Structure 1
Amino acid sequence: MIKKVFILMVIMIASFVIFTACAQDDTTNQPVDDQEGDIEQDVQPADETNLSPTPEEMNETHTVVLYFSDNDLTATYRINKDVFVRNKDHLAKAALEAWIDGPEHEELTGLVNTNVIVEYVEELDGIANVSFSKEIQGINLGSSGELMFAEQIAMILQQFGFDRTQILVEGRVGETLLGHLYTGEPIIANDPESYLWVEEKDSREIVLQNVAFRIFEPYPNSEVKDQIVVRGLARVYEGTLLYEFEDGHFILDEGFTTATEGAPGWGEFEIIIELDEFANYSGRVILFEESAKDGSRINELKIPVNVIN
């Protein structure tokens, strides 16, 4: 009897050990996500949590007015440009940085290398002080290009309430920036309305031009009879331009006219020279202006023509 009870107890213990081992093995072989189901439910997909916001989402959009030269560096035009800033106090600096990046319009060009850095823009006694990195001194524009350069900076900052802008390099004022224009004093901004929007840019063909005159007609060396008609644009002091018509030996006609607008704007003008008595010869119309400083003759533009019967 005791032997039977002992055997029964051994069988029960063995059964318990086998059952426990199977239960542990079953738990071990369960899928991981079943064991950690609660943790998996709290994890978000990576593509929903690691998206970086775009500049447009991080910043506010502001439309500013920028100024760029045409490809011939003969005039400056206005365009609108959207810029993005987090703090509106940095809008003037952002506008200048967009100006350095250059225009997208195919008929306009930038004046500054894109490696130039706008260090800061700050107000001092009502004057905008803008400091550029030293790379600004590496551009080569000539006297007229340097004037446009300073003019465009002053006009960009004018929209932020500054009528005068002091240009600095690495925080220091210099007598000249690129070797031509005096920059020891602030640059005074012009009237924005004296600049055309690029959409208003004259589409007429310019057949001859210089810094003061743009001629639509006549073509150089064209044939004329009875009269010479000269039409174009002038950027001259008080809009006054003078002309002469000569045949290489004598002045056959001379006079002056007034354009519809004086410098720095471009004004329309027309000159008609009557040819009452003529023979076949070559002549030329000479346009010029008188210097406001000393009355000397400056900015001559010569238009050759052929007079025929």
Structure 2
Amino acid sequence: MTRERFVKGWRFLSGRKVSRDQVRLRQEKAWILAKKNGARGNRALNPVFGPAGILWFKGAKGEGGSLTGRRLIGFLTLAVLVTALVCGCRVVQRPGPVEPRAPEPKPPVEAPKPPEKMSVAVYYLKMTANDTYLVREVHEVPRTLGVAEAALQELITGTPKTPGAFKVLPPKTRIRGISIGEGLATVDFSREVLEANVGAAGEALGIQSIVNTLTEFPAIKRVAFRVEGRLDEAAMQWWGHVGLYDQPFERDLYKVYEPAIWVYRPQPGQKVSSPLHVTGSARVFEATVQARLLTEGGSVLARGFGTATAGAPERGDFEIRLEFSSPAADKGWLEVFWISPKDGSELDKVRLPVRFK
């Protein structure tokens, strides 16, 4: 492009008439500026007027482009190169050896809780050189809704605690069922129950041991027996001496000699409040029974006495009323005993833990 064409183009683009000197001065400035812009890089570019009067630059080999477009292309090219360089030079780290993790400690396994227990009273036989009688014992058995059957099963398979006491029912005896209605409990035994051999005195007390064990429960007043669901002649003979001819049988504590005192209420560990009614059975001199309520530390809260319905050698029931002020502690003891007329000592003492409401 010649200076002359550039000058004409500039005059045309100005769109207005100006003096030739002014046009030339402006053309000279524009030419110098265009030459400077076109000289960037390693080769010179010639200014050219393109369509719509846009100033272009033409190189030696004929390629060209707008100034703004070339800058944008250069910027994008540079960005692509930098991105490729960064991505290509990124160091890929190989995973190192994985150290084995220590096993996490397992939570401690809780020991299974022991089954809940309940107390049942059972009656065993005891023979001495002079007499045969019954002894009452309190045993712990697994808690169940069938309390009567559980007590009877303990009478068959349990171990007597009283020295010299023994079981009457054969160990292979099975309880086929117990039905209770209107105060009557009917027990159905397996045929092994007929294998007992205890003599005439032992047979009567053996029957009474079953009856007394079951009548410990308030809902049972009388007891009758069956063998394999029937009451045939073999069942009626029972153990060969007394038989079942007088059934149903009722509770009888006359031949229960041991222990001398036992307590029906309160039960061990029971919560109590004033007034406290203590009930039980006693076979003591002149039928007089003493009771004392203590704190856990031994301080006396209340004391009293009662008279049983019969005195030794017979057995009678008693009831004692104790009034007291509730202590600060929540635990205490109940003691029941009788006093020796000979030396004033406390005999056959029963000591039960209680809790205060």
* TM bucket normalised to smaller: 0.3 to 0.5
After TM superposition, the score normalised by the length of structure 1 is 0.47
Higher RCO (C-alpha under 8 Å, 6+ residues apart) = 1
After TM superposition, the score normalised by the length of structure 2 is 0.42
Larger radius of gyration, structure 1 or 2? 2
